[in-house]
Amino acid sequence: DAKTTQPPSMDCAEGRAANLPCNHSTISGNEYVYWYRQIHSQGPQYIIHGLKNNETNEMASLIITEDRKSSTLILPHATLRDTAVYYCLTTARSNFGNEKLTFGTGTRLTIIP
């Protein structure tokens, strides 16, 4: 799996868009980009994933650069409940169940009232 680099912490004003960057310059062609978040003391929660196209779901949007070396998770209208640690991961998908998710230290996002 490619190594990912994220800023250790970020602040965002409530109601504004939170943009969380992730660098994955060694990503392979068959590796997807995933984002999870972990709200204090809870288990991580899957947010979104993508390969090379931009993706959007009810929680967030994922923008992947054309060269796939970096991506940005966007929370369009951040609320206080979005305060959490956000993890960016990369892994190749398989049907065999042998891939392993590697969680780094993530970005601690604080939403400020």
Residues that bind other proteins (CB under 8 A): 32, 34, 41-46, 49, 87, 91, 93-106
Q: Tell the smallest beta-carbon distance from residue 91 to other proteins (Å).
A: 6
The smaller minimum CB distance to other proteins, of residues 70 and 106, is found at: 106
Tokens representing residue 5 in the block = 């680099």
Tokens representing residue 41 in the block = 């003391």
The smaller minimum CB distance to other proteins, of residues 41 and 53, is found at: 41
Q: Which own/partner pairs from 3-7 qualify as long-range (CB within 8 Å, at least 24 positions apart)?
A: 4/88, 4/89, 4/90, 4/104, 6/86, 6/87, 6/88, 6/104, 6/105, 6/106, 6/107, 7/107
Q: Tell the smallest beta-carbon distance from residue 15 to other proteins (Å).
A: 28
The smaller minimum CB distance to other proteins, of residues 40 and 113, is found at: 40
Q: Tell the smallest beta-carbon distance from residue 36 to other proteins (Å).
A: 8
